[in-house]
Every structure is written in C-alpha cells, then in structure tokens.
Structure 1
Amino acid sequence: MQQIPSSELRPQRLIETWSGKFRDFSGQPVPPYAILSHRWLEEKEEVSFNDYLHLRSETKKKGGYRKITEARKKAADDRLDYIWIDTCCIDKNNKSESNRNINSMYFYYRNSAICYVYLSDVWVKRSTRAGATIWGSEWFQRGWTLQELVAPKRLIFFRADWKPIGERHQLAGVIHRLTGISRSVLDGSKPIESVNIWTRMSWCAGRETTKPADLAYCLLGILGVSMDTRKVNMEDREEAFELLQKALALKYPEFKEFRDPKNILPNLRRQNAEVPAPVDFGKVNATLFHRMLFPQLVTGRRTLHEFHLHVPFNLL
C-alpha cells in the first residue's frame, strides 16, 4: 500500500457547513476544512456516526448535537464549506476505519484551515485577561487534546457560550505555564519535529484518557509513528504501550537501549536530550522518570506530584 505524504493526510468524510450533510472525499482532493477540538460529554449526550447519519428528533436535543451545530456556524462564518468533528465523522464500529483515523488524526488537525477549541467548562470570562479565563479547564488535562493543541496551524479558543477567548499564539504564555510546552512550539516558530521524543512524551505526563489504551494512541502523531490498533483491547494500556515502544524502536534506533529504566538517565545525558530543568537527576530514581515517560507503569490516578517532581516542567 502506497504511503500518503503527511501533508496530504486529511479526513475523507466531512460535514457540509451549509447543509449539515456528510460529504465523502475518498479518492478525491480534500478541500479546506475547519476542525473541532473539545472535551467529550457523556457518551449518551454525544452524536455518533450512525446517530448523525440517521438523524432523529431525539438526537437534536443532545448537547453533542448543539456542539456540532455551533461549530458548523463558526466554520461558515469563516467562509469554510466543510468541518470535521471526531464524534460523528468516524464510524467507530468499523475497526479498519477507526485504526486509520487514530493513526492519521494528528495530521487531520495539522492540515486543517482552522481549529476551534470549545471549552465547555468555561462559562464566563473569569478575568479581564484572556489567559486567566482558560486556567483550570479540563481540556488541558486530557490525552487527546495534546495533539489537538500543538498540531493546527491556527487555533482559537471559545467559551461555553461560543464567545471567543483568543488564539493560541496570543495565549502562548499561559498555555506554556499550564502544559510545559514551550512558547516557540505554541506560536509555531519551532517545528514539533525538532523537539526530541523525550520532551514530546513528557508533554503527556499527568494527562488522562477515558480508555486506558488511548494514552498510548494519543501520542502517535506527536511522536511521528503509527501502529495497528485493531487487535488491541482498549482496556489494556500495557499492551498499547508495548506496541508504541516497538514502533518507536523502529523509527528511532537509539530508543532500544532506553527501555531498561536503569539506562534512561545515562543515555539521556549521552544523547544530550533535553530534560526537566527543575529536577536534580542525581537524586531522582530513574524508575520514576521511566514512569513519567511510560504512564502504563503508573496505576490508577497517580500523577507526577506523588513522585515529588515539579509540574509543569520548563522543558525547553
């Protein structure tokens, strides 16, 4: 199968902003499109592919449907004819389609014309400063939203009432303090590919996903690797991370020797990799750092705070 250049990896199924109908672009050039990033509601409140395909009056009462409608309006206002929304544009009952979308999603966001970030838990402007408004939103604590934050060329944050808060480059300072991601990555002046994989992996520290395996999947695009997710149990985080580590070892040969926790710190120093500045690595057990890089070793809801490491890290 011919590999598609990442610059051309775009979603094949989009929603027309003027009609609300699906449009399939399989085998055709994909036109400019908007994309939505959001914190999922309870499953019963979101609109699935089949729900949207066979739209009923009950579906239109769901919070997820209102979200789709408002996002369509924003895209239309920005003179875009199409939008992609993960809840309804992926047939999750089709494992091959789900696998393709999981491996391509980073590039869906990267190749979008604009990304709308809907912060459903930000109801009012908490401060006259836009940056203070987003502080505390759960959106910044989720696994999948990491790639949705860094991948798009242009990204705008919205409150729960769909009033704009500001663009990513305008809020780069506060986002840096929230996430540890450098301002140069957030404002687009530094390509993500130029950041070493250890720093990229550490961006996911402390984030959570609903399905355990998703904590590995949400890193695929960030790390520039892919893997077959079709046979992985979504409840098995260890299996998913084992596949991720194998994929990393194939792309980054030097990665193999890092897999033993006792080798991590010496190898990081030998590779001149960037490491968290606030931490004195002479006093930190290497196993704990391994836990940071491979969250499958961390059980339950334990975070880096329990290991007495400072979060967020000033990594760059």
Structure 2
Amino acid sequence: RYVILSHRWGAEVGYEEMTGLMKMEKGEREEVRQRTGYQKIIKSCEQARKDGHKWLWIDTCCIDKRSSSELSEAINSMYRWYQNAQVCYAYLHDVDESVFPTERDRDKFSESYGWPEWFMRGWTLQELIAPKQVEFFNKDWASIGNKRHLASTLQHVTGIPWEVLRDGPAARRLSVAQIMSWAAGRKTTRVEDRAYSLMGLFRVNMPMLYGEGKKAFQRLQLKIVRVSSDHSIFAW
C-alpha cells in the first residue's frame, strides 16, 4: 500500500543525490535541500503521513536512471504502478488559487493552452487515468479537489469522458483513435516519450531506445496493431 506522486518536472533531486545526501559536504547538501524538487519530496511525504500512509513513490528519486535496464523496466511498469497506488497526489505547481480552475485562462497559463501545465504533459495522461483516486494540490499543497468529484470539469479540460475518469478505462469501450486524441495536444521533453508514455494505456510493452526519435511512435503503432483489431488506428 503506497501513495504515488504525479507532477511537472523542474529542478529535481535524482536517485544518486537522494541516496548520497548524508555523504555530501554541508554546502552541497544544503544546495540540494533548497531545490524545489527536494521541497516537493518533503511536502509529499508530509501529506502522505498526514493521510495515514507509510510509503510514497516519486519517479524523480525512486528510479536509478544510470541503469538502462532499471529505467526500461520502470517505464514499462509505470502504468501499473500508478494503477496499484492507494491514491495519486497530482501537484499543480502553477495554481495559486484555493479552488480547482474551471475556466481557460490564457493570460495565466499562456504556454499550456490556458490550463495548468500538468494537463498538457505527455506522462500525466496515464497518471490521471490509471489511479483509482487522484487528489489535486495547488502550489502551497492545499487540496483543491479529487478526480471523482471533478470528473465533468476534467472532461472539459482533457476531452476524456467523465465515466473513464470516474470508473477507469473499462467503463466505456474506447477506440485506439479516441485514446490517441487525448494525447494529441500534449508535450514531452523527449520525442520518444510521446510513444513511451502511451504504452500503459494500450496495454503494450516495448524496449526503450532513446535516440530513435519518431521511430518510437511507429513501433508503438505496430505493437498496437499486433494486439488489436481496431481499425481506427488508421484513421489516426
């Protein structure tokens, strides 16, 4: 039983830094502790403990990215890890208000189509759909709602049917093109992650080949064709 964090990456603390924190010189250790990514870890832990949970998983410092095999296993398992969590904390770092934003604000969120940046990232799509419970927090770690109660608003923001948000992908029969459409306007830092971040939603697995560029998406499509007879993938 564990809590899992979903967030937008910034100045993060990695696995090597986290495990070696107490061996660092004092100045170096303080620099790490001052980062927004470290504060995010601490605040997540405090919230998890407040909610009565013993374990918290955060992608930034729980995956040793120096190991290609560990990274590949983690990415292929990511959907399942979010699905199996007791609750997912979604941290919206750019929301100041104490309520969930319900209207598009192009002035405040100018670089993410008028919505908080979390909703425009590639990886957060599966992190919204997979967990049974998702609780949203603003930049000050105040709770501003959960996925179940905000289902109709989230449908407006993401285009994902409210039944899927409330009860999971099994709630409706979904076509390949429909799932692809939810990811269409989202961005990832690495080109390959546009494909890798969708594997869980399509229940497929494939090896990570960072450096292959757009070929990753072609490989994803081939994998989907092999396990599905849904011809809407060609419409996409």
Shorter-chain TM-score above 0.5? yes
1:178 and 2:157 matched: yes
Aligned amino acid, residue 78 of structure 1: D
CA distance in structure 2 between the partners assigned to 1:131 and 1:122 by the alignment = 8
Q: Are the aligned partners of 1:49 and 1:87 in contact in 2 as well (CA < 8 Å)? A: yes
**Aligned residue pairs: how many?**
220
CA distance in structure 2 between the partners assigned to 1:75 and 1:34 by the alignment = 7
What does 1:32-181 correspond to in 2, within 5 Å?
32-41=1-10, 45-55=11-21, 56-125=29-98, 130-132=100-102, 136-181=115-160
Aligned amino acid, residue 102 of structure 2: A
| Alpha-carbon displacement from aligned partner over 1:117-158 (angstroms, at most 9, x marks no partner) | 000000223xxx634289720100000000000110111000
CA distance in structure 2 between the partners assigned to 1:258 and 1:133 by the alignment = 31
Cα distance change of structure 1 residues 101 and 242 upon mapping to structure 2, 3 Å threshold: same
CA distance in structure 2 between the partners assigned to 1:131 and 1:185 by the alignment = 20
Q: Are the aligned partners of 1:215 and 1:237 in contact in 2 as well (CA < 8 Å)? A: no
Q: Are the aligned partners of 2:15 and 2:64 in contact in 1 as well (CA < 8 Å)? A: yes
Partner SS state of residue 220, structure 1? coil
Aligned amino acid, residue 208 of structure 1: K
CA distance in structure 1 between the partners assigned to 2:190 and 2:136 by the alignment = 25
| Alpha-carbon displacement from aligned partner over 1:58-88 (angstroms, at most 9, x marks no partner) | 2111110000000001111111110000000
Identity %: 40
Partner of 2:216: 240
Partner SS state of residue 115, structure 1? strand
Larger-gyration structure (1/2): 1
Partner of 2:205: 226
Across the aligned residues of Structure 1 and Structure 2, the Cα RMSD in angstroms comes to 2.0
Q: Are the aligned partners of 1:140 and 1:179 in contact in 2 as well (CA < 8 Å)? A: yes
Aligned amino acid, residue 95 of structure 1: S
Q: Are the aligned partners of 1:122 and 1:133 in contact in 2 as well (CA < 8 Å)? A: no
Cα distance change of structure 1 residues 237 and 60 upon mapping to structure 2, 3 Å threshold: same
TM-score, normalised with respect to structure 1: 0.66
Structure 1 unaligned regions, length at least 5? 1-31, 266-289, 291-316
| Alpha-carbon displacement from aligned partner over 1:215-263 (angstroms, at most 9, x marks no partner) | 000000011100011xx234x33221122122112212x35x777xxxx
CA distance in structure 2 between the partners assigned to 1:161 and 1:124 by the alignment = 9
CA distance in structure 2 between the partners assigned to 1:122 and 1:100 by the alignment = 33
Partner SS state of residue 203, structure 1? helix
Structure 2 unaligned regions, length at least 5? 22-28, 106-114
Cα distance change of structure 1 residues 193 and 238 upon mapping to structure 2, 3 Å threshold: farther
Partner of 2:26: none
